[in-house]
Amino acid sequence: MSELKHLDVRGMLCPMPVIRTQQAVRLMGGGERLWIVATDPGVMHDIPAWCRVHGHVVVDQITERPDYRVLIEVGHRKV
């Protein structure tokens, strides 16, 4: 299994966390995992919605205010 990657998008508001996530995922392979750490609570809805559209899987979501964390697994079909 490959190294777990982290993306810090704290301080960014919609749509930037999703845009940065998309940019990070483009550099990753299927099965790799990415923790996204944000301060915008919208990521708890926006990232899972983006994952459903693009074939990725939400593995975990954690709220530790002021941070919101979403762990995704990159799908094998990247769009």
> What mean pLDDT comes out for the span 30-55?
98
Q: For strand 33-38 and strand 5-8, is the pairing parallel, antiparallel, or unpaired? A: parallel
Both tokens of 39, joined, read 């301060």
* Catalytic residue of the set 14, 37, 58, 71: 14
Instruction: Tell the CATH topology of 5-73.
Output: Translation Initiation Factor IF3 (3.30.110)
Q: How confident is the model at residue 2 (pLDDT cuts 50, 70, 90)?
A: low
Residue 1: the pLDDT is 54
pTM of the model: 0.93
| pLDDT, tens digit (0-9, with 9 covering 90-100), for 7-38 | 999 999 999 999 999 999 999 999 999 999 99
Q: In this structure, are residues 79 and 54 in contact, taking their beta carbons and an 8 Å threshold?
A: yes
> Residue 14 catalytic?
yes
Residue 3: the pLDDT is 79
Spatial distance between the Cα atoms of 54 and 27, rounded to a whole number of angstroms: 15
For the chain, the structural domain boundaries read 5-73
